[in-house]
A and B are shown apart, each in its own frame.
Chain A
């Protein structure tokens, strides 16, 4: 028996219904996709804003905490405690010989690593008269002797030395590392901070690699960074935040110093410094998205001056 099946396609009505339903579905799907993409991209921008600002804050807190770290700090303290300095003269450029405070004999006081790290540093002297005198270390002549130039007036703390022997614990060498913090109108609030620390631990202040600066740039509305610059207003500074992406408004980058000073006349001036950093960034693409971060960081290596 032959069976004749009648074949028939979709009717026009059916086709149109299916087409409309399909288009609707595609439209809904596409709009879902677009929405989701846009939501995701907003999400990504938020995340990046957050991340960018936090990485700035993080880098700054670590750098500021380390500011003033000096690989020779402990050696200088140890040397100062155990060594008398005998000078060949009381003024001008003289030789200073390091003598053991107990035996009064030479002891290779300035052998390496000190021999490489003392050039051009300031020698702080407190003779028994109690009046501070500063000198500059020109060079380390040999392991026992420094060539130093005693300050003359009008430089700060001028000589001549009242006595040719400065005893152990009455002298030190000032730390070349530290913080440069130029204040604006108010000396304790600024938009720039430069710190230096002994990154490779060799004791020598290598300003090209061991100085780190952060400042606000009003033109780009960005936070800028530098390595090796000691001046906030000049040199090579690079944007750390992307000005096409984040806008740091005026006042959006602020560093505040909280300083507790302990001073003693004619002696070294010490202070305890803490810095408050606040950063506020706005998305360039959506000015309604703003993120503010702040942190407080204590300088662990406050140096005496």
Chain B
């Protein structure tokens, strides 16, 4: 009897204790599961962070279709289009399609963690990029998703996180005119300006845009590209990766026939937008940007250092050449910015944006400059001196006055060159798209 009671008590106590300890064990398991989830989340986050660095480091390869470029189908790995029904990573999440045929994927990103790194082997990173149109080449202005699958230390927990990134181009927009000045524009030499055919709206040409008077003197003339190219037949051609071709014609000029010109010395045509008490065809410009630096870079002038930080600083402008590309900054206190003699700077495919801070930009040769020159007067005056017969394919912008001296200078607005500059991934830096991070 006593034995029975004792046994009963022992059994009941044991059952209750075991039951409660099961709850305790459940709690432990719960905590361990959360722990594993956190480990996997942290690993996935690390993967995304490494992925951005890898993309930034390889910015020049991303759109490149030659050599080890990521667009080259002969190199491994390379961008491969996603299909609408694909459920496999990275186009899908394993069960459903996430990225349809508007996207293209770069799998097999190399291991981004060293062997001694505790995260080595626990993170897989993928890139997915928005493809303009299904099947076409990767556009310059694309959006990237970085997908990272992280696992916990014991391998049982997995988190798939993704975050969209985009390259921030250093150019906020393609400028509207070949000559833009926040002050006045004065010409004395033999200047030929080829207008932006749509700078003043669709079909309305724009050659110069200033917040002061544009004084057309010397033997200055502006015209459309067709008339410009009709004056000489010695052409050469340059193409870019997208198949756009620019016709180069160093000896061309605007025709001397007033009916083929838009404006000329003393005659302000429809393509001159300035502020001079409504003289000329156009009334005064009322929409000139308050901050030209911001107009070009998308960043207020007071934050100019942010742009300078991204630029390649050059104290000697004569080191520039045909293979230069991207953003260059000639800082104050390093003398004038003297272009090298008789060679081209940049190219149609890879143009140059040169900021000349507080000093003089000198171009005294017969070469060509592909891209944009920004004469930036910050504390002192940045001036422009052009002599000889160079051609600018792009735009010349000043946040003060532009005084163009003697010389036989061609300023050709070229939308292809400026578009390539705006699309350039060099120096732009990456930024995370707010609202795009998910872990579910």
- Does A43 make an interface contact (CB < 8 A)? yes
**Which among B5, B12, B141, B435 is the interface contact of A82 at CB below 8 angstroms?**
B141
- Does B232 make an interface contact (CB < 8 A)? no
Give the chain A neighbours of B300 by CB distance below 8 A: 130, 264-265, 267
- Does B419 make an interface contact (CB < 8 A)? yes
Q: Given contacts A37-B16, A175-B434, is CB(A29)–CB(B295) below 8 Å?
A: no
- Is B139's CB under 8 angstroms from A82's CB? yes
- Is B20's CB under 8 angstroms from A26's CB? no
Which residue among A22, A26, A77, A169 has the maximum number of chain B CB atoms within 10 Å of its CB? A77
- Is A303's CB under 8 angstroms from B173's CB? no
Give the chain A neighbours of B145 by CB distance below 8 A: 74
- Does B164 make an interface contact (CB < 8 A)? yes
Binds B, one of A64-72, A210-218, A283-291: A64-72
**Which among B17, B295, B419 is the interface contact of A36 at CB below 8 angstroms?**
B17
Give the chain A neighbours of B440 by CB distance below 8 A: 66
How long is the Cα–Cα vector from A32 to B78 in the complex, in angstroms?
A: 72
What string of 1s and 0s marks CB contacts (under 8 Å) between A1-31 and chain B?
0000000000000000010011001100110
- Does B201 make an interface contact (CB < 8 A)? yes
Give the chain A neighbours of B439 by CB distance below 8 A: 65-66
- Does A87 make an interface contact (CB < 8 A)? no
Give B173's nearest chain A residue, CB to CB: A167
- Does A40 make an interface contact (CB < 8 A)? yes
How long is the Cα–Cα vector from A270 to B291 in the complex, in angstroms?
A: 21
- Is A40's CB under 8 angstroms from B20's CB? yes
How long is the Cα–Cα vector from A303 to B434 in the complex, in angstroms?
A: 5
- Is B298's CB under 8 angstroms from A74's CB? no
Binds B, one of A44-52, A144-152, A219-227, A228-236: A44-52
B residues 121-168 in Cβ contact with A at 8 Å? 130, 132, 139, 141-143, 145, 163-164, 166
How long is the Cα–Cα vector from A73 to B162 in the complex, in angstroms?
A: 13
Q: Given contacts A51-B30, A77-B166, A162-B286, is CB(A33)–CB(B141) below 8 Å?
A: no
Give B48's nearest chain A residue, CB to CB: A300
Q: Given contacts A73-B164, A78-B142, is CB(A47)–CB(B23) below 8 Å?
A: yes
Give the chain A neighbours of B9 by CB distance below 8 A: 26, 29-30, 32-33
B197 to chain A, nearest CB (A): 11
Give the chain B neighbours of A18 by CB distance below 8 A: 2
How long is the Cα–Cα vector from A51 to B287 in the complex, in angstroms?
A: 62
- Does B117 make an interface contact (CB < 8 A)? no
- Does B115 make an interface contact (CB < 8 A)? no
A residues 153-177 in Cβ contact with B at 8 Å? 162-165, 167-170, 175, 177
How long is the Cα–Cα vector from A300 to B294 in the complex, in angstroms?
A: 28
- Does A261 make an interface contact (CB < 8 A)? no
Which residue among B9, B142, B202 has the maximum number of chain A CB atoms within 10 Å of its CB? B9
How long is the Cα–Cα vector from A267 to B24 in the complex, in angstroms?
A: 54
B22 to chain A, nearest CB (A): 11
Give the chain A neighbours of B291 by CB distance below 8 A: 130
- Is B434's CB under 8 angstroms from A302's CB? yes
- Is A22's CB under 8 angstroms from B290's CB? no
**Which among A43, A51, A104, A301 is the interface contact of B436 at CB below 8 angstroms?**
A301
Give the chain A neighbours of B288 by CB distance below 8 A: 129
Q: Given contacts A26-B5, A130-B290, is CB(A169)–CB(B298) below 8 Å?
A: yes
- Does A304 make an interface contact (CB < 8 A)? yes
- Does A141 make an interface contact (CB < 8 A)? no
Give the chain B neighbours of A164 by CB distance below 8 A: 201
**Which among B2, B17, B27, B434 is the interface contact of A40 at CB below 8 angstroms?**
B17
How long is the Cα–Cα vector from A175 to B142 in the complex, in angstroms?
A: 20
Q: Given contacts A22-B5, A29-B9, A33-B13, is CB(A77)–CB(B143) below 8 Å?
A: yes
How long is the Cα–Cα vector from A101 to B71 in the complex, in angstroms?
A: 23
- Is A73's CB under 8 angstroms from B12's CB? no
Give the chain A neighbours of B23 by CB distance below 8 A: 43-44, 47
- Does B433 make an interface contact (CB < 8 A)? yes
**Which among B13, B172, B437 is the interface contact of A69 at CB below 8 angstroms?**
B437
How long is the Cα–Cα vector from A301 to B436 in the complex, in angstroms?
A: 7
**Which among A22, A37, A66, A162 is the interface contact of B2 at CB below 8 angstroms?**
A22
What string of 1s and 0s marks CB contacts (under 8 Å) between B416-440 and chain A?
0001000000000000011111111
- Is A130's CB under 8 angstroms from B295's CB? yes
B residues 270-305 in Cβ contact with A at 8 Å? 286-291, 294-295, 298-300, 303
How long is the Cα–Cα vector from A104 to B201 in the complex, in angstroms?
A: 11
A87 to chain B, nearest CB (A): 12
- Is A300's CB under 8 angstroms from B437's CB? yes
How long is the Cα–Cα vector from A30 to B289 in the complex, in angstroms?
A: 90
How long is the Cα–Cα vector from A300 to B438 in the complex, in angstroms?
A: 8
What string of 1s and 0s marks CB contacts (under 8 Å) between B307-326 and chain A?
00000000000000000000
How long is the Cα–Cα vector from A104 to B415 in the complex, in angstroms?
A: 12
**Which among B24, B31, B141, B198 is the interface contact of A43 at CB below 8 angstroms?**
B24
- Does A186 make an interface contact (CB < 8 A)? no
How long is the Cα–Cα vector from A44 to B30 in the complex, in angstroms?
A: 15
B residues 191-233 in Cβ contact with A at 8 Å? 198, 201-202
- Does B1 make an interface contact (CB < 8 A)? yes
Give the chain A neighbours of B1 by CB distance below 8 A: 22
How long is the Cα–Cα vector from A301 to B439 in the complex, in angstroms?
A: 12
Give A73's nearest chain B residue, CB to CB: B435
How long is the Cα–Cα vector from A129 to B294 in the complex, in angstroms?
A: 9
- Does B240 make an interface contact (CB < 8 A)? no
- Does B6 make an interface contact (CB < 8 A)? yes
Please name 25 pairs of A and B residues whose Cβ atoms are closer than 8 Å in the assembled complex, sorted by A.
Answer: A22-B5, A25-B6, A32-B9, A40-B17, A43-B20, A47-B23, A54-B31, A58-B34, A68-B435, A73-B433, A74-B143, A77-B164, A77-B433, A81-B141, A81-B166, A127-B287, A128-B173, A129-B287, A129-B289, A169-B169, A170-B172, A170-B173, A177-B435, A300-B437, A301-B437
Spell out A's residues near B (CB within 8 Å).
Answer: 18, 21-22, 25-26, 29-30, 32-33, 36-37, 40, 43-44, 47, 50-51, 54, 58, 65-66, 68-70, 73-74, 77-78, 81-82, 101-102, 104, 127-131, 162-165, 167-170, 175, 177, 201, 264-265, 267, 270, 300-304
Known: A44-B23, A74-B145. 6 other contacts (CB 8 A): A32-B13, A33-B13, A51-B30, A82-B141, A128-B287, A129-B289
